[in-house]
Every structure is written in structure tokens, then in C-alpha cells.
Amino acid sequence: MNQINAAAVCVDDDPHILQMLSLQLRKCMNQEEILMDFFQKPEDVMTHLKTLEERGVELRFLLTDYRMPGMSGYELIKSVKAEFPDLKCILLSGQADQHHVSELKKEGLLDAFIGKPWKEQELFALLGC
């Protein structure tokens, strides 16, 4: 039996999007080695990332929506990158503010942007699956 040594975190306020991401990621990631966590509330993510790091779990990537109640993906990425500067951050959105996307890229905080709807092959290529 393998031990979980890495984690991937997805954030979207739409449970259907999270379900689709879950189905797709399970096709390309070894579930026995990589913990896949899904959140509808972006404000819950930072504490979870810190807990994973304290347990010695490698943080592979954060994939987040842009428009969410309480905190935007832009705000979440800025916050996460302040604590975890090497964490790969991907914005997945159909309604992103392009100014914010450009700003995140200029600051070196955004590794990739994928528009909704996305193609599974595009996601897999980006994640190296």
C-alpha cells in the first residue's frame, strides 16, 4: 500500500464543476499517492494548505475559479502565494477579470489560465498527466 505524499487542491463554488474536475483528475493522477481535495469555500483553503505542509505533504497545485462568493480566485492566489511562493497556481474561469489575470501573470503568481468550458486534454497537458 502506497502512502499519500502529495496533494492537489481545487476550489470552485459550483459543486458540478468540482465533480467534473474530480472525475477528470482521477483519470490522470494516482489516487494512492496524491490526495485530491475539493473546496467550495475559498476561505477554507489556506488553513488546509498549512495543515498539509505541516504533515510534510508536497503541495502539487492549486486550481481555482475566479468568481466566488466571499473571496475571488485573484484574492485567493495572492494570499496563497504569499505563504507558498512555489505552489503552482492555475485559474480556471469563464468570467475572469482579464486585468487581474494579467496582473497575476506579471507578478509571477499565476502559472496558467484555463477558460471554461475547458478541454480535458488541455487540463491534462497543463498538469503533465
Write down the pLDDT at residue 3: 75
Grid-cell match 496582473, residue found: 103
**pTM for the structure as a whole:** 0.93
Write down the pLDDT at residue 1: 46
**Second CATH level (architecture) for the domain 6-127:** 3-Layer(aba) Sandwich (3.40)
Write down the pLDDT at residue 44: 96
Radius of gyration of the chain (CA): 14
Burial readout 9-21 (b: 16 or more C-beta within 10 A, e: otherwise): bbbbbeeebbeeb
Q: Is the dihedral of CA 37, 40, 42, 44 positive or negative?
A: negative
Strand, coil or helix: what is 76?
helix
Structural domain boundaries of the chain?
A: 6-127
**Which among 31, 23, 76 is positioned nearest to 8, based on CA atoms?**
31
**Which among 39, 37, 26 is positioned nearest to 123, based on CA atoms?**
26
Tens digit of each residue's pLDDT, the chain (129 residues):
457 789 999 999 999 999 999 999 999 998 888 999 999 999 999 999 999 999 999 999 999 999 999 999 999 999 999 999 999 999 999 888 899 999 999 999 999 999 999 999 999 999 888
